[in-house]
Amino acid sequence: MSRVKFGDGKLSFNYASRDTRKKFESARGASRKFEDDEFLLEDKVMNYGNDTADQIICVSDKVFIDGIDPTDIAQGEAGDCWFLSSLCSFANYVEKNEKEKRTTSNLLRRVINNDENNKPNNGIYIFTFYYFGEWHDVIIDDRLPLKIYEKDNVSGAKRQRKLKDSRGTTFYPDQVSDYWALLLEKAFAKFVGGYMNLEGGCPRWAVTYLSGGITTHDEIDESFSVQNALLNDGIFEYLEKIEDTSLIVVSNYDNDSPQNYALGLIAGHAYSVEDFEVINGTKIVKLRNPWGAGEWKGDWGDDWIIENADSKLRNINSVQRRKLDVDNLLKGTDDEDGMFWMAWTDFVREFEALTVCHLEDSRDQEQRFLGTFQYDGETSPKDKLDMGLNYLNPEKHLQFHLKVTGEKQFIQMQVTLDIPMKPVDKDDEDRDRRMVILAIHKMPKNTNNAKLDRPFEKFELYDMDLISPKLPLNRPTDEFKGYAFEYYDYNGWVYDLPAGDYIMVFASCPGTNDKYSSGASQTPNTNFIFRTRGKNFTLKHLNEDFVGSYEYRGLEHYLTETTAQSTTTTTTKSMTQSR
């Protein structure tokens, strides 16, 4: 890929203006209460069309945040469990961080802006979301919608939206004690174009926007490779190890049957994963339903714990007893709150998708490369057919030399593209989609170092051993010698690599097949950021004319710089400034 243009930091999908924080400070001190004319709840196309007084509640006189807890989040009848389950995971992380470290969580400060939003605010709030390598401020007013379009149950958990006089409810004010989660939900809706864009989605989108982490996603199918990896290849132990530095969400797509409803799980629903434990040799996992109700009724659920408290659980230690909440369950003082335990084997059988967002770790280094894919058929494949034929052609991909030093370590990688969260063209969604490929090859020990001054040729790459990631678990078939072509969806990978030299191949193409057309693809050129994070590594590009690169300076730098800025200075920095 010899003519990749340098990414200039201009985003094609970027709501946040560069003077957002200045506007926030100005509006907070104004004589007139702030009203957001950029995001109207009355909008019947992208919002819920709340246009009467009984459909809107103003909350600036309510408590914004009084501590943070996953139980602050409860889903109404909107179809955004994918976002709220991710927010539960976010809240669980913050809660544990503050309890154990006795400090205000950086994740809380960054996204919720609790210090600013807890002050007298004149009806204006500010939140911050991650997108394409940057943190973007979003301001909203204090008006929240109470009604949505009516949703009827159709074929089990599949629900259909209808515009009628009778409306579903977004939330119940008498059940809300503080409003940070509902206001954050509104800010995110504004950031992605409206509440209607929250109707149906994937947890991997939400956790990335909320944390800026590197996210992996797996479809938990019944294939031997995936089942074996989950049950026998140390995945439980890996997730337990990283639970304090990650957000984990699972989805339940297919369990639309009376038997599964009897077990308490909801089809088409997402849950946050909150804890891992091994008790009497059994691996168990704790989950939370963002509805705040509806729990697993199988083994290790509340009823099972009560039944087995004096037998199978009699000899567990005090920490385990507290985690399982045995005493409160036996007293009948543990109300249904949507939190439950289940065996890992049941977890693997019942859920169909696993999302793991690896958060920033101050002990790691992170290197980023920026550029633009030009889908011209010369420097990048112009379609899927071209990618399938030429994915190892060095003229149509990027190559990196990765050198890992020291002990064996986990190396995290992610590609982010500057495209909308959801396809804009509803009639031809593939036109708005992209495909990506990442492959890591183990470089032979006897390789001449002089070769590292140029990209490796196709036949040289094909002779190298291809390394499989720890996550995601889905292993490709033997087609293309094990190379995985994936639709872009905030794709991340985690590799468990010993010290040594590796050659990485990275490429992208449009999500269409234009095999009957000539010339370049009709898909617009696309900016990208490629991230690599780990403890001890170096990364060097091997292409002649390459993208810019910089070492990410980390959250602490962002927070320090934000605090030090005056009210007339924007906190959202372009990539050029961040380099």
pTM, rounded to two decimals: 0.82
DSSP letters, 116-175, are HHTS--TTEEEEEEEETTEEEEEEEESEEE-EE-EEEEETTTEEEEE--SS-EES--GGG
pLDDT of residue 272: 87
- Tell me, yes or no, whether 94 lies in a domain: yes
Same domain as 387, residue 332:
no
What amino acid is encoded at 178 in this protein?
D
Percent of the chain with pLDDT over 90: 34
CA distance 511 to 117: 41
**Mean pLDDT calculated for residue range 199-228:** 88
Whether 282 and 343 have beta carbons less than 8 Å apart is answered as: yes
Q: Is the pLDDT confidence value at 483 over 60?
A: yes
Same domain as 418, residue 306:
no
What lies within 8 Å, CB to CB, of 29 at 6+ separation is: 122
pLDDT of residue 12: 35
- Tell me, yes or no, whether 400 lies in a domain: yes
More confident residue, 248 or 173: 248
Listed ranges 49-53, 176-180, 286-290, 455-459; the one with the highest mean pLDDT: 455-459
Q: What are the pLDDT digits (tens) for 320-360?
A: 999 999 988 988 876 677 889 999 999 999 998 899 999 98
Element (H, E) at 18: none
Same domain as 128, residue 172:
yes
- Tell me, yes or no, whether 10 lies in a domain: no
**What secondary structure letter does DSSP report for 404?**
E
Same domain as 169, residue 114:
yes
More confident residue, 292 or 124: 124
Q: Is the pLDDT confidence value at 551 over 60?
A: no
pLDDT of residue 153: 42
Q: Is the pLDDT confidence value at 493 over 60?
A: yes
**Mean pLDDT calculated for residue range 309-320:** 92
Same domain as 326, residue 186:
no
pLDDT of residue 223: 83
pLDDT of residue 480: 53
Q: What are the pLDDT digits (tens) for 24-38?
A: 989 988 999 999 999
C-alpha torsion angle, residues 72, 73, 74, 78 (rounded to 10) = 150
Q: Is the pLDDT confidence value at 180 over 50?
A: yes
What lies within 8 Å, CB to CB, of 296 at 6+ separation is: 263, 264, 265, 287, 340, 341, 342, 346
- Tokens 């991340």 locate to 492
Same domain as 482, residue 513:
yes
Q: What are the pLDDT digits (tens) for 125-156?
A: 999 999 888 888 999 999 998 877 554 443 33
Domain boundary among 331, 357, 383: 357
Percent of the chain with pLDDT over 70: 78
- Tell me, yes or no, whether 11 lies in a domain: no
Domain boundary among 357, 375, 400: 357
pLDDT of residue 447: 76
> Among 10-14, 219-223, 492-496, where is mean pLDDT lowest?
10-14
Q: Is the pLDDT confidence value at 157 over 80?
A: no
Helices (H) and strands (E) in the chain, counts: 17, 25
**Total of domains in the chain:** 3
**Mean pLDDT calculated for residue range 100-106:** 60
pLDDT of residue 239: 95
Residue 482 pLDDT level (bands cut at 50, 70, 90)? low
pLDDT of residue 148: 73
Same domain as 278, residue 151:
no
Q: What are the pLDDT digits (tens) for 360-406?
A: 888 889 888 888 888 888 888 888 888 888 989 999 999 999 999 99
Q: What are the pLDDT digits (tens) for 416-443?
A: 998 888 877 666 666 778 999 999 999 9
pLDDT of residue 578: 22
Same domain as 440, residue 425:
yes
pLDDT of residue 170: 76
More confident residue, 314 or 549: 314
Residue 254 pLDDT level (bands cut at 50, 70, 90)? low
- Tell me, yes or no, whether 572 lies in a domain: no
pLDDT of residue 7: 34
Same domain as 383, residue 338:
no
CA distance 351 to 359: 23
Mean pLDDT of the chain: 79
**Residue 350's CATH number:** 3.90.70.10
More confident residue, 105 or 227: 227
pLDDT of residue 85: 82
- Tell me, yes or no, whether 426 lies in a domain: yes
Domain boundary among 203, 236, 251: 203
Same domain as 347, residue 224:
yes
Look at residue 368 and give its three-state secondary structure.
strand
Same domain as 345, residue 403:
no
**Residue 367's CATH number:** 2.60.120.380
Q: Is the pLDDT confidence value at 537 over 90?
A: yes
pLDDT of residue 424: 72
Domain with 102 in it = 20-203
What amino acid is encoded at 165 in this protein?
D
Element (H, E) at 390: helix 384-390
What lies within 8 Å, CB to CB, of 217 at 6+ separation is: 202, 204, 353, 354, 355, 356, 472, 489, 490, 491, 492
Q: What are the pLDDT digits (tens) for 48-84?
A: 888 887 888 898 888 888 877 766 776 567 778 888 8
**Mean pLDDT calculated for residue range 270-292:** 89
Whether 365 and 421 have beta carbons less than 8 Å apart is answered as: no
- Tell me, yes or no, whether 566 lies in a domain: no
Same domain as 282, residue 413:
no
More confident residue, 546 or 248: 248
> Among 172-181, 234-243, 294-303, where is mean pLDDT lowest?
172-181
**Mean pLDDT calculated for residue range 527-554:** 74
- Tell me, yes or no, whether 573 lies in a domain: no
